């Protein structure tokens, strides 16, 4: 049976496509997909659009069930899905709207190095990063914590890492939620989740997680670049990881238990993977508290990973990371639900905003932003695949009006991991990457194939759409020089 989605999509304009509310009885709002014609063809190749329609059934959903241009099939929600529910009007929270890798996210560092200064050291650097950063499925690091310390991480997030000497106060200022979302409750996390998280702080994990050394090859907004201290030919680093086995366990625990809530609260959804509970219910509050613990764990993890990355640079270049200028531009979450205030029909409402494979993109002047980014808008970091480009953008007022302050999160998969393993030869792939001057190290041969550039949409197309729509604005583009994968 073909996976090609043949449901109704109405063109609103060149970048907005509507799944009408009449498509399925029970849809409370329409589905809106942000894409151009080219990307829409790719989107139709799986059932992600069906998931956009299914999310429109959620009690309390406002505006529309939204999909970013990197949308693809996920658990319950599509990856690239955004949905906001009205907390005071029975709005629900759904673990499927956050995902298994809670607060999978990305941070970007700059350096003082120019490409010409380090081009002959990239291979050494990549091999040193691979040696110095634990990566791969089930990887464990040197940062081991007791149950008491783990509870501290759940509450303090990145601040715990900084207090342990794994960073500085300025790192917290440049992290979404200052590296710790309030309202976490360690008591809402299962013993199994605790156990899975104990040895995984400061570990990269597997799949699409990476540390990538890059060079800025295109400037779009010179004023923003000047404010961020970025220039052409400058070396940057991206770190992409999440909450590891701990976050997966939290999602698994609550996805199972919330199925009972569908009957208890008389919630009718077309897919059990959309199991949910009212935000203000006992079950909804418990999940939100546990999810925040996992989110804070993920921020602490990326802070530890950045500390390890800085240490590797210090060894390779025989100078302190401060002298190298390895300061944090920003850290953003991709898989999270947040209680935020947004205007709906001109009236400010308290909403539960699910961003699954979507990035927060708050515009200039928003009170949640650090002072240094008040004029520019929030930095938005969009990694591509290991053979193309990545981007730094900023959030906009248009995003606040149209997408609850959200934008895309990456390129978006075109092929499943299993399909990639069947169709791509490792030797050919490594030759292509080498021809582009890209050094790759991974814990397994399969990981490199699963993350090949051709299994992803072209991130340049995705970013082009969000820039033209105006929900985030391009600042600069980076190309990969070397990458380590889980």
C-alpha distances in angstroms, 101 versus 201, 225, 267, 320, 386? 14, 31, 25, 33, 20
* Active-site pick, 240, 334, 354, 409: 409
Cβ-Cβ contacts under 8 Å for 175 (sequence gap 6 or more): 107, 158, 299, 303, 328, 330, 331
- Cβ(244)–Cβ(345) below 8 Å: no
Q: Which residue has the tokens 């989110």?
A: 295
Separation between Cα atoms, residue 154 and residue 296, nearest integer Å: 5
- Of the candidates 349, 378, 357, 358, the one whose C-alpha atom is nearest the C-alpha of residue 366 is 378
Segments in 265-380 forming alpha helices (H):
282-317, 321-324
Whether 209 is a known active-site residue: answer no
Separation between Cα atoms, residue 251 and residue 124, nearest integer Å: 38
Q: What are phi and psi of 6, to 5 degrees?
A: -115, 15
Tokens of residue 394, six digits: 């900023």
Tokens of residue 127, six digits: 């091999």
Separation between Cα atoms, residue 334 and residue 383, nearest integer Å: 11
Separation between Cα atoms, residue 56 and residue 188, nearest integer Å: 28
Separation between Cα atoms, residue 239 and residue 107, nearest integer Å: 5
- 154 alpha-carbon distance from chain centroid: 19
Separation between Cα atoms, residue 90 and residue 28, nearest integer Å: 13
Catalytic positions are: 409
């Amino acid at each position: 049976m073909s996976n090609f989605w043949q449901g109704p999509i109405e063109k609103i304009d060149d970048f907005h496509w509507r799944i009408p509310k009449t498509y399925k009885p029970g849809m409370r709002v329409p589905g809106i997909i942000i894409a151009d014609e080219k990307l829409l063809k790719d989107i139709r190749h799986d059932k992600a659009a069906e998931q956009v329609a299914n999310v429109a059934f959620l009690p309390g959903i406002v505006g529309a069930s939204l999909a970013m241009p990197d949308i693809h099939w996920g658990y319950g929600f599509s990856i690239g899905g955004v949905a906001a529910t009205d907390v005071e009007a029975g709005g629900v929270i759904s673990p499927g709207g956050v995902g298994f890798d809670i607060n999978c996210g990305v941070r970007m560092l700059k350096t003082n190095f120019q490409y010409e200064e380090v081009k002959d050291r990239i291979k050494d650097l990549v091999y040193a990063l691979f040696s110095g950063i634990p990566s791969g499925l089930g990887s464990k690091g040197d940062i081991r914590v007791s149950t008491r310390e783990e509870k501290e991480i759940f509450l303090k997030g990145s601040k715990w890492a900084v207090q342990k000497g794994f960073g500085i106060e300025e790192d917290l200022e440049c992290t979404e939620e200052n590296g710790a979302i309030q309202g976490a409750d360690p008591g809402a996390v299962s013993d199994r989740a605790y156990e899975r998280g104990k040895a995984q702080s400061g570990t990269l994990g597997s799949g699409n997680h990476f540390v990538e050394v890059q060079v800025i090859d295109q400037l779009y907004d010179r004023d923003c670049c000047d404010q961020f201290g970025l220039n052409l030919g400058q070396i940057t680093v991206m770190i992409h990881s999440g909450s590891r086995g701990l976050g997966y366990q939290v999602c698994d625990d609550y996805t199972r238990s919330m199925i009972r809530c569908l009957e208890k609260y008389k919630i009718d959804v077309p897919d059990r993977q959309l199991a949910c509970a009212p935000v203000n219910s006992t079950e909804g509050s418990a999940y939100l508290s546990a999810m925040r613990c996992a989110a804070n764990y993920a921020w602490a993890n990326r802070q530890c990973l950045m500390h390890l990355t800085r240490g590797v640079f210090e060894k390779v270049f025989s100078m302190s990371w401060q002298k190298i200028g390895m300061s944090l531009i920003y850290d953003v979450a991709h898989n999270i639900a947040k209680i935020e205030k947004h205007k709906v029909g001109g009236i400010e409402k308290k909403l539960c905003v699910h961003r699954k494979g979507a990035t927060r993109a708050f515009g200039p002047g928003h009170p949640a932003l650090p002072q240094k980014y008040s004029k520019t808008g929030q930095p938005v970091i969009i990694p591509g695949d290991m053979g193309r480009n990545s981007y730094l953008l900023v959030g906009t007022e248009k995003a606040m009006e149209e997408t609850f302050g959200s934008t895309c999160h990456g390129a978006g998969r075109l092929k499943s991991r299993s399909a990639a393993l069947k169709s791509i030869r490792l030797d050919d792939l490594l030759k292509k990457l080498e021809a582009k001057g890209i050094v790759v190290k991974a814990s397994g041969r399969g990981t490199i194939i699963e993350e090949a550039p051709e299994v992803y949409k072209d991130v340049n197309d995705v970013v082009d759409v969000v820039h033209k729509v105006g929900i985030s604005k391009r600042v600069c583009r980076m190309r990969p020089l070397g990458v380590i994968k889980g």
